[in-house]
Structure 1
Amino acid sequence: MDNKLFALVDHYISERVAPEDEILKAVNTSIEKHGIPQISVSASQGKLLQVLAKLTKATKILELGTLAGYSTIWLARALPLGGKLITIEFSEKHARVAQENINKAKLQDLVDIRIGKALDILPQIENNKEGPFDLIFIDADKPPYLEYFDWAIKLARPGTLIIADNVIREGQVLDPDSTDDKVIGVHKLNESLRNHPKVFSTIIQTVGAKEHDGMVLALVE
C-alpha cells in the first residue's frame, strides 16, 4: 500500500473540510512537548466524529480514551449549549494535559474528565444514572474492547451510535494465530458483531495519515 499517497490524500481532505485551528494545532504541540504517544485520530477522522455527533443530535457523549483531548475537542464542539461529554483517561499525566487543552478550547463547562480504569469508572457512571448517552466513542486500550463495547450498550438507548476505533490494525486481524493482545482484543469485538442481538453495525476501513485501520459503527436497537 502507498502510505505516502494515503497521507497526501488525507491532507487534501483535511485542508478542505477539516482544517485544524490554533487550538487543535496546540493539542498536537502539547503531545510532542509532553512525550505522549502520537495516537490521536487524524483531523479528517476528528471531523468524521463531529459529523456523526451532529447526525445523531448528540447532547450526551461518552468517550473512552482521552489522551491529550484531541478527539474530545472535535466531539465537544458538536454539542449544543447545555450538552455534556464525559471522557475517561487512565493516565493522570495525559488527563492533566488534556484538561489544559480543553480549558484553552473553552470547553471546560461541557467536558468532564474521569481519571482511572474505564472498567472501574463505567459501573460508577451506571450507578449514578449519568446515561443514556447519544454517542459513545471507544478509543482506549485494545485488549478489553469487547468489555468496553458491552458497557457501552448498557449505557446506551435505542438509537445510540457506538464507534470503536482501531479495529483493523493494518490488516493484522486477518491472522487467526496472532499473539498480539491488541489484535486479539479488537478481533473479539469484531467477531461479536456477526449476530449481535442488540446492534445494527458495520466496520469501515480507514486509510490516511494514520495508515490502514478501521472503525466499528454500531447503532443500538
Structure 2
Amino acid sequence: MNQDQWNFLDRYIGDRLVHADGIFQEALDASTQAGLPAISVAENQGKFLYLLAKIRGARRILEIGTLGGYSTIWLARALPRDGALVTLEFSPEHAAVARANIERAGLSEVVSVVIGMAADSLEEMIASRTEPFDLIFIDANKDGYPDYLRLCLPLSRAGTVIVADNVIRHGKLADPTNTDPDVVGIRQFMDLLAKQPGIESTAIQTVGAKGWDGFSISVVSA
C-alpha cells in the first residue's frame, strides 16, 4: 500500500459514510487562504470524533489546539442543545480564522475560543473550578502533551474520554534513539498514560490521507 491508495480509500469512505457538507470544505478553504498549515484531521477522522462525542453523550467538550476550527465544528455538532465546547488556541491569527469558520457553521453560541498558552488556560480553569468535561481532544504541540495530560485530569471526572492525536509519528514513537522533541513529548505522554492511576488507555495506528500516524484513547475511571 502507498499514499495514493490510502488517499483513494479515505475518499471512498468519505463519499459513502461521512457525508460532510459544504461547511467543512469552506472551513478548510478559509484556513488555506489564511496560510494555516494543512494539518487538520481528515474528514473521516472528524466524523470519528463526532461519533465518539455522540457515543459518550458529551455535554461538555474541551479541545486543545483549534487551528482553523475544522475538528471543532465536528465536535460541536455532536453536542446537545445545552452543550458547550471550549477550544484553546495559542495563535490569535489562527483563532480569528477559527471563529469565522465556527460562526459560518452556526456554532458560535456553543463554542468558546480561548487564546493563549494552553497550559496557562488549563491552570486558570482548574483554579476557577471549571465544571469537568465529558470529552477532551488533544491536538496541539506534541512536546506539550505530557503537561496537557496532567492538567486535563483535574478537569475530568469518572467517564471522561481523552483522545490525543498524532501519537505514532510515522513509527518514530517506538524508536528510543529518536530525540526529536515532538517524538520525545509523545513518548513521555505515553509513559504517563501507562502509569497513571485511575485511567485506562490504548492507542491505534492509522493510515490514510494524513499518512502513517494514530491516536490514543483513554477513559478516566476514578
Q: TM-score, normalised by structure 2?
A: 0.97
Aligned to 1:2: 2
Aligned to 1:211: 211
Kindly report which structure 2 residues correspond to 1:14-163, keeping only aligned pairs within 5 A, or say none. 14-163=14-163
2:161–2:218 CA contact under 8 A, matched in 1: yes
Shift of 1:98: 0.2
Question: What residue identity is the alignment partner of 2:38?
Answer: Q
Structure 1 position 175, deviation (Å):
1.5
**Structure 2: distance between partners of 1:127 and 1:17:** 42
The aligned amino acid for 1:82 is D
Question: Which segments of 5 or more consecutive residues in structure 2 lack a partner in the other structure?
Answer: none
Superposition RMSD in Å: 0.9
Letter in 1 for 2:201: S
Q: CA deviation at 1:193?
A: 2.4
Tell me by how many angstroms 1:206 deviates: 1.3
The normalised TM-score by structure 1 is 0.97
Deviations 1:41-96 (A, max 9, x none): 00000000000001110000000000000000000000000100000000000000
Q: Does the 8 Å contact 1:19/1:43 carry over to 2?
A: no
Matched-pair identity in %: 46
Conserved in 2, the CA contact under 8 Å of 1:163 and 1:217?
yes
Q: Does the Cα contact within 8 Å between 2:194 and 2:201 map onto a contact in 1?
A: no
Matched with 1:179 is: 179
Amino acid corresponding to residue 119 of structure 1 in structure 2: A
Whether contact under 8 Å (2:63, 2:139) holds in the other structure is yes
1:29 Cα deviation (Å)? Answer: 0.4
Tell me the number of residue pairs that the alignment of Structure 1 and Structure 2 aligns: 221
Cα deviations across residues 11-35 of structure 1 (Å, max 9, x unaligned)?
1111112122111000110111011
Q: What SS does the aligned partner of 1:50 have? A: helix
Work out the CA distance in 2 between the residues paired with 1:122 and 1:196: 19
C-alpha separation between the residues in 1 aligned to 2:8 and 2:131? 40
Q: Which runs of 5+ in 1 are unaligned?
A: none
For 2:76 and 2:42, the matched residues in 1 are separated by 16
Question: Which structure has the highest helix share of the two?
Answer: 2
